[in-house]
Structure formats: structure tokens, C-alpha cells
Structure 1
């Protein structure tokens, strides 16, 4: 009788135990950055910025600078890990900085500074590049630009486009390295 009880206990025990949890589904792989498309768009952006004509001839020779580095727009710095050796192993920090810079310049182009001088091809290229980089590295907040005085718009446009040109030059180098076959 004792073996029969043990058998009965062994057969009923699984019914008393909680069911094992279903295995958690594997997380979907993060979208991968399309480096070749980023390289193509960053080159196009650089080309567009360089070919823009300054509407006020006197500003062509002007080099504006700010004394307060805290107010500078996002720049690609050494600490952003955009160097080739780091990009090959971990590009998250670099792409996040590139996204911040692109978003900043896109916001500038949509601000009152450029109301009288829309640059639709530049804006469209920036939007396409933002969409590619945003897949993995988007930031939820956007900064709105404070209104500026109308008399300052040409100077602010000049400064913004100068900085955008510098930013796109470095960004293009990052994307060119990352898109090259290894």
C-alpha cells in the first residue's frame, strides 16, 4: 500500500505545483544604423551647405564667434568617442551626439531666424539624416528657439551656417569611416 501511495503522490505532485512561466520572448534586435545611407546624406548635406551663397556680400568675410562656450551648439568632441577605434566597437555615444547636433541645426532652420530665407533642400536632407540616426539614438525632447530681433537674422544665419558646415565636415568623416568595408 505504501508504494501505491508514493506513486499516487508522485503523479499528483505536478498538478499541485505552479506551471512554469512561459519563456520570455527574445528582445527584438535594435535597428542597425545604415552607415552607407548616412554617409551619402552627410556628404550631400556638406555639399549643400558649402554651395549656399551669402545674401549679404559683407558677411562673406566675417568670422563670428561667441565668447561663452556654454552657449555653443552641440559639437563633436574627442569625448564623444567618434574616433575610428571606438566606432568599431561602440558607436552609441557618437551617434547620440550627432543626433543632438542634427536636431539643433534642424530646429535652427525652422526658427524665426530663417523665416525670410527658407532652405528647403537643406531642411529635407537634414530630416532624412535625422530619421536614419533617430532610429536608435533619439532624445525625447526638442528645444524651441527663442525669438530673435529681425535686424540680427542675417548675422545669426551666417553663424548658424558656418557652424553647420563645421559640424557636417566632422560628421561626414565619421560616417565615411563607418560605412567603409573592413
Structure 2
């Protein structure tokens, strides 16, 4: 009887030494239409590229204010928007994109753009938001802090400059994920 117990132990020991099975990779949200998001993000980039700066002195100006209060987030390395991570889990990156788009949309609807409304840009943002936030719900709007009228051209320039950077990275994410 003892040799039989040793045989069982010998057969079971390798199973105990195996690492635990890896957790299944998260499945992308089924309602995300990556191809449509890619198309709309490219359209948004095109619209931003066609905008003309009304104040010529600001054309070559690059403002470097560190994260003004209530301003949209940037996509950072820690947001997991790199291709290898997107292939396994795109939730975190998609959440950051959604958060940024919502805040840029709120910014375009704020007093900063009262004198210079950009309806085509707002419409493109709305369409892209609609595609991404299906079944996710929209968090409450965060009002943008009122600003002085003299600062509006500078803030518009900063907002559009940041939106263009955000859109460039976002388009790369959608292009990669739409493959």
C-alpha cells in the first residue's frame, strides 16, 4: 500500500508545483466601435489643424502653465495607452480618453469660448463622446472656473494646443485598436 501512496504523491507533486493559471485577459468593452472612433478622432485632428489663430502673436507662442485648475488631463505613460497594454486591457486608457474628452467638451462650452464658439469642433467631440460613453454613463459636468475676459485668447490658445496634443495620442490609440 505504501508504494501506491508514493506513486500518487509523485503524480500529484508536479501539479502542485505548477504556477497558478493566469487570470483571463479583460475583454474590451463590447460597445466600443474602434473603427468609428478612429474616423472621428482623425476628423477632430483635421478640424484642429484647420483652425486659424485670430491673434497672430499667439501663433508661435507655446504656453507652459503646469496643469491649470479644472483643466483636462493629459494622456500620460501611466494611463496604459501603449500598444502592448491596449492589446490586453484597454479599460484604463479608454477611461482616461473619456475623461479628457468630457472635460475638453466642457471647456469649449465655457466662458473662455463665448466670443469664439467652435460648433464643428464641439459637434465632433460630442459624436466621439457618444461612441465612447455608451453604457458607461456621463459623470456630472464640472464647471470651468470663470476667467477674466482679457485672458480668454491666451486660454483658448492653451486649450486648443492641449486638445491637439490629446487628439494626436488618442488617434494613435484608436488606430491601433481598430486594426
Normalised-by-shorter TM-score class = 0.7 to 0.9
Alpha-carbon distance in structure 1 between the residues aligned to 2:115 and 2:70: 24
After superposing the two structures, state which structure 1 stretch, 83-92 or 36-45, moved more: 83-92
Alpha-carbon distance in structure 2 between the residues aligned to 1:87 and 1:62: 34
1:120 aligns with 2:113: no
Q: Is the 8 A contact 2:70 2:145 kept in 1?
A: no
Alignment of 1:63-142 (within 5 A): 63-67=62-66, 73-142=72-141
> Structure 1 regions of 5+ residues with no counterpart?
1-29
> Structure 2 regions of 5+ residues with no counterpart?
1-28
In structure 1, the partner of 2:177 is 178
Superposed CA deviations along residues 133-161 of structure 1, whole A, max 9, x for unmatched, are 11154452221111111110000000000
Q: Is the 8 A contact 2:45 2:168 kept in 1?
A: yes
With normalisation by structure 2, the TM-score equals 0.79
Q: Is the 8 A contact 1:73 1:104 kept in 2?
A: yes
In structure 1, the partner of 2:161 is 162
In structure 2, the partner of 1:145 is 144
Q: 3-state DSSP class of the match of 2:59?
A: helix
Q: Is the 8 A contact 2:70 2:144 kept in 1?
A: no
Alpha-carbon distance in structure 2 between the residues aligned to 1:86 and 1:140: 25
Alpha-carbon distance in structure 1 between the residues aligned to 2:163 and 2:62: 14
Structure of higher CA gyration radius: 1
Deviation at 1:169, TM superposition (A): 0.2
Give the count of matched residue pairs: 151
Deviation at 1:68, TM superposition (A): 5.3
Residues 55 and 69 (structure 1), Cα distance of their counterparts in 2 relative to 1, 3 Å cut = closer
Residues 112 and 123 (structure 1), Cα distance of their counterparts in 2 relative to 1, 3 Å cut = same
With normalisation by structure 1, the TM-score equals 0.78
Alpha-carbon distance in structure 2 between the residues aligned to 1:165 and 1:134: 21
After superposing the two structures, state which structure 1 stretch, 58-67 or 104-113, moved more: 58-67
Q: Is the 8 A contact 1:31 1:135 kept in 2?
A: no
Q: 3-state DSSP class of the match of 2:134?
A: helix
